[in-house]
Structure 1
């Protein structure tokens, strides 16, 4: 009996510790520990890193974090002017980087036929690729039953198939060179359902399935996979989000809110995750982080809690306000 009581007490303390830490941290416990005691981002100095979606948001801020660490960068997105601005800022972040160390390479990820040519350009420029960061993507706000099937296809084309296409090129290269790292900017929607984002959840769940399978397939080949799962982040993603209608954008600006992690902070934590080759990390402020842990660790209680809190409360955590339109 005493043994069972001890086991029960230790289990209770274990989960209590998680709840306490989730109330004060802005990321999962392992990532928080690695930020203090793990490898610093500066350990990535000299690595060749290709970032998609680098013209704004988390991708832009990650470029600054890695530039400061001394990485050589390839910055890709569709908007050339914005990429050039990011490059200038990268060079300002680290005076030891030269103009040749930061390459702007415009890329439309939906044009899958252009991926191999873009990959060859990277290899011709730097002779190798160490880390591919799949950051580009779009979110969604829509009622599940109203979503046109075309939207699901468009979501998967951008958030899944373009990522797979580029990543498979990278993995083939890594198998030849003997090592490399794939980074996926996913979402907590990749392992938990989130409200009013059916297509987005489906796409992010797919990414986890694909890349966790990659980990299993090549666990002995020195190919590392880091899946980053942000919760609410302070970026301008909302206006560009998919809705339930093909060709339509959500069109509502993202509110500034204290319950969201800044893009700068998210990028810093991503840098730590990359440097320490963590498999999966969660990034969110305490309000969202507590809910994530509850839903992940106690799914039955989580189901009841979600029903009790209601959709309006969950949307407020996610977007800082309850929208008045789709």
Structure 2
């Protein structure tokens, strides 16, 4: 197991939720951290809550601006001279039925959750190849392994991430590069409040399932263990995790179970 203590880690979506919890957990492990999101003031707040503020660097960015990713990667690598782990955590969710959803919502979901993450990872890849080491950690979802109503665009983007990063692992394992896909179930964050509805506006309310999910600090600890073990995929949550295995063996049964749980 490769301990994460003292390593240099770049975390996107670090201004709230899972990303923020990871910052605090890794700060306690003496990691050097580059933290990114669109919200610079929120990143400053997160940094101010850390113990080792001298080891925290802020690189604001918007994943939707894919042309900016090469320059952002250059900035990030110049901060501490190298990066051991990139944690692709930033993203948005969705709560709307297919028939009612504007196509612009699907584009935004793909631009941020898929293309933005791919563009950033491709910009980091040459540095990892040059160093003959590096670890891509991408926060997907259990919805990247199966599906649920009102999450069509979110599921599509998360499924796409698995395809891309599975190939990246195959093509660059010989370069000393690792890939871990993290698949959360229900976690107590604001991802549900910020989820896009049919017209692109945020939902603004919490889902009961999310608020009864794993506490975010507990999730962060589980995620760090999966990173240290260099798992290919890690499924984290409550009973919803079983959906991955039911889908694999009994897809019709999962279809019925999911529909029953959403009524």
Which TM-score band applies after superposition, normalised by the shorter structure?
over 0.9
Cα-to-partner distance string for 1:59-101 (whole Å, 9 max, x where unaligned):
000111111111100011121222112112222xxxxx3x331
Question: What pairs up with 1:171-190 in 2 under 5 angstroms?
Answer: 171-190=125-144
Larger Rg: 1
CA distance in 1, matches of 2:168, 2:195: 28
TM-score (structure 2 length as normaliser): 0.94
Match of 2:249 in 1: 297
CA distance in 1, matches of 2:261, 2:34: 43
Say whether the 8 Å CA contact 1:236–1:254 is kept in structure 2.
Answer: no
1:65 is aligned, of 25, 29, 36, to 25
Matched, 1:55 2:9: no
The runs of 5 or more residues in structure 2 that have no matched partner are none
TM-score (structure 1 length as normaliser): 0.76
CA distance in 1, matches of 2:220, 2:128: 24
1:115 aligned counterpart, secondary structure: helix
Matched, 1:164 2:118: yes
Say whether the 8 Å CA contact 2:186–2:209 is kept in structure 1.
Answer: no
Aligned length: 263
CA distance in 2, matches of 1:52, 1:123: 14
Give the drift of 1:255.
4.4
Q: 1:78 to 1:282 in 2, by over 3 A?
A: same
Structural RMSD (CA): 1.8
2:38 is aligned, of 71, 78, 84, to 78
Give the drift of 1:195.
1.8
The runs of 5 or more residues in structure 1 that have no matched partner are 1-38, 92-96, 313-326
Give the drift of 1:254.
4.5
CA distance in 2, matches of 1:90, 1:310: 40
Q: Return the structure number with greater helix share.
A: 1
1:70 aligned counterpart, secondary structure: coil
